[in-house]
């Protein structure tokens, strides 16, 4: 092989390398779509979502750039080899290889460029989907709907219901025992507490419930319940001092004896 042929071979190799490098596909460095922070999203949260979705998008196209470059390299080498074979048949393999390398590199670069567009589009789609799912604003799409779960229904409090039952029994509360401590229940508790020398805070408690349960309905002093002109016995049953005027008289009380 002459020096001239060796020089041409080096030129061919350089041409192939330059052609491939100029059309090499690569993983996108970022999206080409402009996404804005969603409603109620702080910029810090948006930045966190942005970084997370870039990683997600890069993973979705992982390995595609390498595969595209392998295909381009194979096409360029095959075209160069065919050109060299044709040139050899004509007596100048180096010239044939050079021409074929130029054409093959152009074909490979075009294929890589097309692959790059496809990779970028797939990257953008994955990025947009991720950001939309996180509630950010993506061009062409409204804000992602936010699912709100219904607040659990309030359940009656057994302690409040038991307290209400006792307040109703004692006449402090004129309402239903629903298990919810409303204004009427708190007012009734405060009234009972005031009547019994307790701090009137209107709050339910196990101690308050025990006090209510131990209170007899309508309890009063003996003198207040005694009919007019009745007297308490000084001893014994006192049943022979006279006939009770009313059945409502407390047990043990007697009417005064009639004068003879």
Beta-bridge partners for 36: 137
Beta-bridge partners for 231: 254
Q: Tell the residue number behind the tokens 């009427």, with chain if given.
A: 184
Structure token digits, residue 199: 């701090």
Position 247 scores a pLDDT of 45
Position 60 scores a pLDDT of 87
Position 29 scores a pLDDT of 82
Position 228 scores a pLDDT of 58
Position 208 scores a pLDDT of 94
Per-residue pLDDT tens digits of the chain, which is 260 residues long: 455 555 555 555 555 555 545 557 678 888 999 899 998 889 999 999 999 999 999 998 887 777 766 765 665 555 555 555 555 555 555 555 555 555 555 555 566 677 788 888 999 999 999 999 999 999 877 665 666 667 788 899 999 999 999 999 999 999 999 999 999 999 999 999 999 999 999 999 999 999 999 998 765 444 444 555 556 555 544 444 444 444 445 555 555 655 54
In whole angstroms, how far apart are CA 200 and each of 52, 128, 163, 187?
57, 61, 15, 9
The secondary structure element, H or E, covering residue 205 is none
In whole angstroms, how far apart are CA 254 and each of 18, 223, 259?
129, 13, 15
- The one-character DSSP state at 244 is -
Which domains, from first to last, does the chain contain?
3-133 (no CATH), 153-217 (1.10.101.10)
Question: If you count DSSP H runs as helices and E runs as strands, how many of each does the chain have, helices first?
Answer: 8, 0
Instruction: Mark 117-155 as b/e (b = at least 16 C-beta within 10 Å).
Output: eebbeebbebbbbbbbebbbbbeeeeebeeeeeeeeeee
Position 115 scores a pLDDT of 78
Q: Which residues contact 96 (CB under 8 A, 6 or more apart)?
A: 83, 84, 85, 86, 87, 88, 90
- The one-character DSSP state at 240 is G
Q: For all residues of the chain together, what is the average pLDDT?
A: 74
By the 8 A CB rule, do 116 and 95 touch?
no
Position 61 scores a pLDDT of 86
The secondary structure element, H or E, covering residue 183 is helix 183-195
Alpha helices (runs of H) in 61-141, residue ranges in sequence order: 64-89, 93-133
């Amino acid at each position: 092989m002459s020096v001239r042929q060796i020089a041409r071979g080096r030129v061919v190799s350089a041409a192939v390398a330059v052609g491939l490098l100029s059309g090499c596909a690569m993983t996108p460095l970022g999206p080409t779509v402009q996404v804005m922070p969603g409603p109620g999203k702080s910029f810090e949260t948006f930045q966190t979502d942005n970084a997370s979705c870039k990683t997600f998008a890069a993973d979705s196209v992982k390995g595609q750039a390498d595969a595209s470059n392998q295909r381009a390299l194979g096409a360029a080498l095959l075209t160069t080899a065919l050109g060299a074979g044709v040139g050899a048949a004509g007596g100048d393999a180096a010239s044939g290889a050079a021409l074929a390398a130029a054409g093959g590199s152009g074909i490979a670069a075009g294929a890589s460029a097309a692959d790059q567009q496809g990779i970028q589009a797939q990257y953008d789609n994955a990025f947009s989907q991720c950001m939309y799912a996180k509630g950010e604003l993506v061009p062409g799409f409204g804000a992602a709907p936010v699912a709100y779960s219904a607040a659990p229904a309030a359940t009656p409090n057994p302690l409040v219901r038991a307290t209400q039952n006792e307040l109703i029994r004692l006449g402090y509360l004129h309402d239903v025992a629903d298990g919810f401590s409303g204004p009427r229940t708190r007012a009734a508790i405060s009234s009972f507490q005031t009547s019994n020398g307790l701090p009137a805070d209107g709050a339910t408690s196990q101690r308050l419930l025990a006090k209510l349960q131990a209170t007899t309905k309508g309890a009063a002093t003996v003198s207040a319940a005694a009919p007019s002109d009745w007297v308490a016995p000084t001893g014994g049953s006192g049943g022979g001092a006279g006939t009770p005027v009313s059945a409502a008289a407390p047990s043990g009380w007697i009417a005064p004896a009639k004068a003879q």
